[in-house]
Structure 1
Amino acid sequence: MSANANVCSRVKGMLCAVVWLLWATAAAADPPLVTPTAMLDGALHCPATFDHPGREPVLLVHGATVNYQESWSWNYAPALTSMGYDVCGVDLPERGGIDLQVSTEYVVHAIDRIHAWTGRKVDVVGHSEGSVLTRWAVKWWPRLWDKTDDVVLLASPAHGTQVADLLCALPCSAPAWQARPGSNWIAALNAGDETPGPLSYTSVYTELLDELVVPAASADIAGAENLAIQDLCPLRPVTHAGMVYDAAVFRLVLDAVANPGPADFTRLGPNPCSSQYLPGVTALDVLLFTGTGIPRFSFELITTDKLTAEPPLMSYAQ
């Protein structure tokens, strides 16, 4: 070996050591999960076996006031499964009614577990509260960057919602305090890079009839592919809840998880707006889901613990 080769070898070794040290430091900097592992495991729903090694598994994260069964079991879970995806879901604690920083631990643990079981990167689809929890997870746990591919956000209150300001005119729940446009949590979520890591971010939202994300532009995330469903299907009436059963929204989600990079209108083919509901969903399914939505939301609004101030930021986010 020549002297030059020896020098080169030493330099490469030093570079490898530096890269490893930086990676180890970043991994060590990930916040610890304070929720007991048994609780985190108990909230995760996955198939008994992962039978589709040719596709990345999908994790579904629901919004506030519902659970995995109510939000996903009748729409995205069976539809994606029938298309050859292994689908998991997570139940957020108290239906997403507690401190968002605690709820995020369930998403972090789910991604860790699914990646460990499959050896594959995970595509995460989050609706409403589930979308901001997913972003909080990949922002503060950079170890997830090597375990996650697509982050698909539906009806995301990414920069807060004025509805939370109204709710918190009186004592309100922790997530409502944190979802206010001027909250410390929203500021921390969007500080610096809004789309960290080598991940593909897609934010799909509705400009018509979203009664919970106000203004609709809150869903625009710097660095993401931001897609209003009305840009694809003009004047299409899609509500906040409708994002989990609308066929055109599903086409965009499927495009994101099936292809490299974020969703792309140009790949959808002809007539992407021709169907109303995604495959397997009936009008009765939608009626049952939406018909129980207002009573369920009202019940959770009344019964969740009320706070007089926003929960403090965890030390890692300060």
Structure 2
Amino acid sequence: MKAGVIVSLGLACGAIADQLARRADPDLIQVLSTLANEPQEIGEDTAASISDVVSRLQHGTNSTTPGSVQSALSNIALAVSGADNIVDAATAITAAGLIPSEIASFLNGYLDSELNSQDNSNPIAKHIYPYKAAADAPYSLPESTLRAAIHIPDSFSFGRNGNTPVILIPGTAIPAGTTYYYSFSKLANSSAGIDVVWVNMPRASLSDSQVTAEYVAYAINYISALSAGKSVGVISWSQGGLNTQWALKYWPSTRLAVADFIAMSPDFHGTVDANVLCPVLDDVACTPSIFQQEYTAEFIQVLRADDGDSAYVPTTTVYSTFDEIVEPQSGSNASAFLHDARGVGVTNAHLQTVCAGKPAGGVYTHEGVLYNSLAWALAIDAISHPGPGSLDRVDLARVCEQLVPPALGLDDVLGTEGLLLLAVAEILAYQPRATREPAIRAYAKLNHTLVR
């Protein structure tokens, strides 16, 4: 190795060690400090390890101790335990001092973040618009708008080298790039053979869910087409599960393009507490998609009709009793629970049942499922094997003992919880307010195959 490279590596390791010192990771600090203070020729394995550390730091993945994560989770649970709505929950988390200044600064800049761009310059894909199959519902949006909402990282390989494309679908009131910054956007770095893209929904998924579902349907066929027809994985959070299920129901062509659907904290049956999402002027004026997520909403009833409460593709759904947004989330009546009338394969993973009495089965919030170790293990297992995530394949003895997956740390826990602050800002800023849910689109009212 050339001397200049060794010196640069030493300086870089010193800088990294300084960052790690603020993140309380003594083992890595020791290794990197040694390299910084005693520049020497190093082997390829060591260089690769250092490169991995640099990559993880650049992507915000911090190392931390189980004790600090446990303390944070306990404080989060305590903070949100008395919250009656999302504003109370966000206020309690902030008042408890759980969001460090550097994380708050990142979250505050979400409106200007390139991660959340809806004006992306993406290549054109053929034969998927205005429809891919005759039975597909019609799009109400131009293809250029649908295509521009898809954020494709520079690292995305378009299915080459055997990599599986995975599309990240956001939930209510939070842009996709920020939603997954502290969680599943890091999946590509932590598991070989996985590439991720995400869809930045208009108005943070607060407008008509039927329109938001168009972005999901288009993205599925688009990414598959650009990946030489390879089937994709879809990971959703919260309302993203509803939007994906709607897309799979009314754009049947997407079913052939999806190998796995993994839903985190989904509300396939809405929530009996939809008003906790709209605490200002609730029952009077809110946003279209929040009205559509009420337990008795027409949107929910139409979605679940004709076995819409069953999976259309291999589906893994992960949810927590302590979900402060979607209720109920336990037992066979859990909103996240899907049936399997079509025999495609479904895994319903209730954290507190699968990991009962273990750390991964503890108090995880609606957003907390995004950093839960069982959720990650099942997602990776589903993407890596045919069919849904399998509890028999996952090493539950190990995974259930983990508070967070190895790819994540304390910053990711706190950054994910900080998403509530953005949700409050988006909900309160939404205009014009709606007083009822949007009308069901004509295609969803039809009882026969669409005719072209």
Taking structure 1 as the reference length, the TM-score comes to 0.86
What do residues 35-84 of structure 1 show as CA deviations (whole Å, max 9, x unaligned)? 12222122101244336442431111111121122111332122234422
Q: Indicate whether 1:195 and 2:304 are aligned.
A: no
Aligned partner of 1:71 in structure 2 is 179
| Worse-matched range after superposition: 270-279 or 210-219 | 270-279
Instruction: Report if aligned partners of 1:202, 1:226 keep a CA contact under 8 Å in 2.
Output: yes
Aligned partner of 1:212 in structure 2 is 325
- Structure label with greater radius of gyration: 2
Distance in 2 separating the partners of 1:219 and 1:315: 27
Distance in 2 separating the partners of 1:280 and 1:272: 13
Q: Find the partner of 2:261 among 151, 156, 161.
A: 151
Instruction: Report if aligned partners of 1:178, 1:186 keep a CA contact under 8 Å in 2.
Output: yes
Distance in 2 separating the partners of 1:53 and 1:35: 33
| Worse-matched range after superposition: 295-304 or 255-264 | 295-304
**Cα separation, partners in 2 of 1:113 and 1:36, compared to 1, 3 Å:** same
**Partner of 1:86: helix, strand, or coil?**
strand
What do residues 130-150 of structure 1 show as CA deviations (whole Å, max 9, x unaligned)? 111110000000011211111
Instruction: Report if aligned partners of 1:138, 1:196 keep a CA contact under 8 Å in 2.
Output: no
One-letter amino acid matched to 1:280 = A
Aligned partner of 2:409 in structure 1 is 282
**Cα separation, partners in 2 of 1:297 and 1:77, compared to 1, 3 Å:** closer
Distance in 2 separating the partners of 1:73 and 1:47: 12
Aligned partner of 2:368 in structure 1 is 242
Q: Indicate whether 1:38 and 2:144 are aligned.
A: yes
Instruction: Report if aligned partners of 1:126, 1:152 keep a CA contact under 8 Å in 2.
Output: yes
**Partner of 1:38: helix, strand, or coil?**
helix
| Worse-matched range after superposition: 134-143 or 251-260 | 251-260
Gap runs ≥5 in structure 1: 1-24
What is the aligned-residue identity percentage?
31
Distance in 2 separating the partners of 1:283 and 1:26: 43
Q: Find the partner of 1:139 among 235, 249, 267.
A: 249
One-letter amino acid matched to 1:187 = Q
Aligned partner of 1:17 in structure 2 is none
Q: Find the partner of 1:112 among 221, 234, 251.
A: 221
Distance in 1 separating the partners of 2:150 and 2:347: 28
**Cα separation, partners in 2 of 1:77 and 1:298, compared to 1, 3 Å:** closer
RMSD of aligned Cα (Å): 1.9
Instruction: Report if aligned partners of 2:368, 2:416 keep a CA contact under 8 Å in 1.
Output: no
Distance in 1 separating the partners of 2:403 and 2:176: 22
Aligned partner of 2:103 in structure 1 is none
One-letter amino acid matched to 2:337 = D
**1:168-317 → structure 2 map (5 Å cutoff):** 168-193=282-307, 194-195=309-310, 197=312, 199-207=313-321, 209-216=322-329, 217-223=334-340, 224-234=346-356, 235-269=361-395, 270-290=397-417, 292-305=418-431, 306-317=433-444
Distance in 2 separating the partners of 1:80 and 1:303: 34
**Partner of 1:162: helix, strand, or coil?**
coil
Distance in 2 separating the partners of 1:120 and 1:100: 27
Distance in 2 separating the partners of 1:182 and 1:302: 23
Cα displacement (A) at 1:215: 0.9
Provide runs of 4+ in structure 1 moved above 3 Å: 165-168
Cα displacement (A) at 1:284: 2.1
One-letter amino acid matched to 1:137 = A
Cα displacement (A) at 1:85: 0.7
Distance in 1 separating the partners of 2:350 and 2:373: 14
Cα displacement (A) at 1:293: 3.0
What do residues 177-229 of structure 1 show as CA deviations (whole Å, max 9, x unaligned)? 100111110011110123354x201111111x200111111111121321101
Distance in 2 separating the partners of 1:78 and 1:52: 19
One-letter amino acid matched to 1:242 = G
**Cα separation, partners in 2 of 1:26 and 1:79, compared to 1, 3 Å:** closer
Instruction: Report if aligned partners of 2:159, 2:230 keep a CA contact under 8 Å in 1.
Output: no
Gap runs ≥5 in structure 2: 1-130, 341-345, 446-452
Instruction: Report if aligned partners of 2:175, 2:200 keep a CA contact under 8 Å in 1.
Output: yes
